Amino acid sequence: MHAQDKDTDKTRGRAGAAGPAARAAAPGAGRLQVLQRAAGNAAVARAVAEQRRESAEVQAEENVQRVTNGVTPVQRAAADGTKESASPVVSGAPVIQRAVWTYNASTRTHDVMGGQRSGVWQEDGNPQHIATSAQLGAGAQAHHGDKYDDATGRHFGSGNVAFSQRGAIPDTPQAHRDGTAYKEREAHVRQALVETKRRLATAITMVSASAAPSGRVLDALRSGFPGFQRATPQQIQPLLAHVAEVLRRIQTGLDAEGAQIALAGETAWYDLGALGSNQANVAGWVAPTVGERLNPHDKKSEKLPTMDAGREGAINLRSLGENVWYIVHEATHRFAGTLDYQYSPYEHELNEDRADVGTAQTLGWSQQKLEEYSADRLGKRVARDADQYTGQDESAHPAKQLNWYAMGPRALMNADSYAQFVVVATGGTLPRR
């Protein structure tokens, strides 16, 4: 959602697909989690600021302005006075995993004393291969559906998150017992949250490499941040620090003990923090600050908003938003201060691609014939001048698509840009270009 203009997001109904996990959490994550428990998001923001150079966001903003204006961005020297040597282009491919395990809390095993204990880790693809948390070194606090990657030593779990219900969630004929509908939604979101954490770890690894991006990660960057289409990999490289910072902030926020997710149903009229949330196309929202309500950011301006927006409270999700895309989207609002400059035309473009490819297959077209047939549609998927951005999120095509490709530097603080990057970089379908 845009935390200033509205408290709601329009749904695209994206489902989370499987993706490989990556490296361990950023150093200092434990300290940040303690701070968040004690003092909330503001403390997290201060701790993050202390750990990273104060100039990082300024440099990213300066460089993205240079890229969109066709000027080579500046790569500043390291703080210790050394200068990093030029690095070869790397593919940014995710780490190949040896084995991933899923925690099954419903399975009972016998210990050496003959007693029973609940819960066991099962290897994905070979569920008969089981292990205990102690054997894997995964920690004792595992929740049903958690994942453990033995290649990276990462435990991706949902047990740290406090789930709550907001509004009425009626039971359905399929979930006929009182409270069952909410429990089923919570179980589903926990699985999506675990998958989100795995994908985030992979995406952070991709953009943290000390070399210019290429391959899948470059394609994903140009898909989520359309202005990068006009930049070379070497020009994009200095801007990755900003992308990585946003991703690390949401990783830290989602990993924090006591992070909050509210599953929303039919909210009451007097719930002022949920105004407008009962509309059919609402997927989720994060409450804006009072200051944001009184003084909204000028989205027409190319000046990026601060990551330290000071937003508090839960990430609110409705059924339509209970997937990787929207958890990432809302988490960027909650923990990194992003706005809704423009919702993505991702699903619209995928539908166009399916229709075109289906037509080509039915009629037996060659690849050249397909490209000629699709040329007009693909021609609209190119970066446009940033001054053509309308200053607001456009909801209907073709204005929606045109606006997406005209965001320019604004995309670096656009919630859907990060959702699209994470999903596409970690295995989601890439729209044709």
- Distances in Å between the Cα of 197 and the Cα atoms of 4, 69, 140, 223, 252 are 26, 35, 19, 21, 10
Q: How far apart are CA 222 and CA 356, in angstroms?
A: 22
pLDDT given for residue 135 in this prediction: 86
Q: Outline where 345-392 has alpha helix (H).
A: 346-363, 367-378
pLDDT given for residue 40 in this prediction: 44
Q: Which of 307, 365, 310, 361 is nearest to 339 (CA)?
A: 307
Q: Which of 250, 203, 253, 248 is nearest to 224 (CA)?
A: 203
HSE value, Cβ hemisphere, 13 Å, CA-based, for 393: 21
Q: Where are the beta strands (DSSP E) in 229-283?
A: 260-264
Please give the model's pTM, rounded to 2 decimal places: 0.79
Cβ proximity of 261 and 159 under 8 Å: no
Cβ proximity of 390 and 301 under 8 Å: no
pLDDT given for residue 16 in this prediction: 39
Q: Which of 242, 410, 220, 253 is nearest to 330 (CA)?
A: 253
Q: How far apart are CA 290 and CA 308, in angstroms?
A: 14
Q: How far apart are CA 151 and CA 154, in angstroms?
A: 8
- What's the token pair of residue 331? 């988490």
> Quick check: bond before 398 cis, omega within 30?
yes
pLDDT per residue of the chain (433 residues) written in tens, 0 to 9: 544 444 434 444 443 333 333 333 333 444 444 334 434 444 444 454 454 444 444 454 454 454 444 444 443 333 333 333 333 344 444 444 468 999 998 876 655 555 556 789 999 989 889 988 888 888 778 888 999 998 888 999 999 999 999 999 988 766 656 668 899 999 999 999 999 999 999 999 999 988 999 999 999 999 999 999 999 999 999 999 999 999 999 999 999 999 999 999 999 999 988 888 888 888 999 999 999 999 999 999 999 999 999 999 999 999 999 999 999 999 999 999 999 999 999 999 999 999 999 999 999 999 999 999 999 999 999 999 999 999 999 999 999 999 999 999 999 999 999 999 999 999 999 999 9
Query: Where does residue 324 fall: left (phi above 0), alpha (psi -120 to 50 degrees), or beta otherwise?
Result: alpha
Q: Which of 190, 101, 94 is nearest to 149 (CA)?
A: 101
Torsion sign (Cα): 54, 31, 200, 406: negative
Q: How far apart are CA 168 and CA 165, in angstroms?
A: 8
pLDDT given for residue 327 in this prediction: 98
User: Which helix (H) or strand (E) element contains residue 128?
Assistant: strand 126-131
- Which residues, including other chains, have CB under 8 Å from residue 380's CB and lie 6 or more apart? 398, 401, 402, 405
Cα end-to-end span (Å), the chain: 27
